[in-house]
Amino acid sequence: MTTRICRQIGLAIAIGTLALGAHASEVTVSAAASLTNAFKEIAQNYQTQYPEAKVALNFGASGALLQQIAKGAPVDVFASADQETMDAAEKQGLVANADRRDFVKNALVLIVPVDSTLNIKRLDDLNQPTVKRIAIGNPASVPVGRYTQHALEAAKLWPALESKTIHTQNVRQSLDYVARGEVDSGFVYATDAAIMKDKVRIAMEVPLNVVISYPIAKLKASTNADEAKRFIAYVFLPQSQAILNKYGFQKP
C-alpha cells in the first residue's frame, strides 16, 4: 500500500513538473501589424525546431500594443514598427535599453486601388479634387501614421490634406480600405503593399529623412525570460531574416 502511494505521489510530481516545463516554454509576442505574415511563418518554424515551445502572437498598432503592455498584459516579447514607441516602453520601465535591438527596416509608400485611374507621382498630386479620401494610420498610436504626418509636414501639405484623411487603427486597415476601393489612396509600408499586388499598386515611394527601423525587446516583466531571449535570437538567424526579406523587409 505504501509503495503504491509513493508511486502515485511520484507520478503526480512528474506530471506537475512536465506541466511547469510546458508552461515555461510558452512565449507571448506582441508585434506590429505589418509583421503579421512574416512573424506567423517565423513562429511556425520556431515551433517546428523547438517542439516543446509554443508561440502566442498578438498583432496590432505599436502604440495600442504598448498600452496593453503598460496595463499589465502578459507579454514576453515586443516588436515595434518604430523607435518612438520602444523609447516610450523604455521610459516607462517596461524594457531595458540593453535588451532592445533593431532587426529590420521598411519603406513608406502611397498606394491606390489596382484599377485606379489616378496619376499620382508626387505628394502634391494628392491635392487633386479627384482625391477625396486618403487612409492614414492614426498618428497618435500608429507608427505609419506618424511617418506619414512627418512626410506631409515636411512637404507643407499636412494642413491642406488633413480634411481628406481617414484615420485607421493600424497599417493593415489602411491596406484593406485601399484594396476594397473605400478610399482613393492610402499610406502603408512597402511590405504591406507587396502582399496585395492583385488589389493595390504603389503610386510612389514617400521620401523621408528618417529611417523606418523596427526594434525588438524582451519585456522586463516576462515570466518566460529564457524563452523570450531564445525567440528574439531566432529572429536574427539567417533563416528568419530570409523570411523577413521575402516579405520585403530590409536589413537594419
pTM exceeds cut of 0.95:
no
* 3-state SS class at 126: helix
pLDDT of 214-239, one tens digit each? 999 999 999 999 999 999 999 999 99
* 3-state SS class at 183: coil
Q: Give which of 125, 123, 132 is closest to 151, Cα–Cα.
A: 123
134 and 87 inside one domain: no
**Residue % of the chain over a pLDDT of 70:** 90
Domain boundary among 173, 188, 205: 205
Q: Which domain holds residue 163?
A: 108-205
In a domain, 178, yes or no: yes
In a domain, 251, yes or no: no
34 and 46 inside one domain: yes
Report whether 224 contacts 26 (CB < 8 A). yes
Q: Domain containing 61 — which CATH number?
A: 3.40.190.10
Decide if pLDDT at 19 tops 90: no
Phi-psi region of 111 (alpha: psi -120 to 50; beta: other; left: phi over 0): beta
Q: What pLDDT score was predicted for residue 17?
A: 38
* 3-state SS class at 92: coil
24 and 51 inside one domain: yes
pLDDT of 168-206, one tens digit each? 999 999 999 999 999 999 999 999 999 999 999 999 999
14 and 80 inside one domain: yes
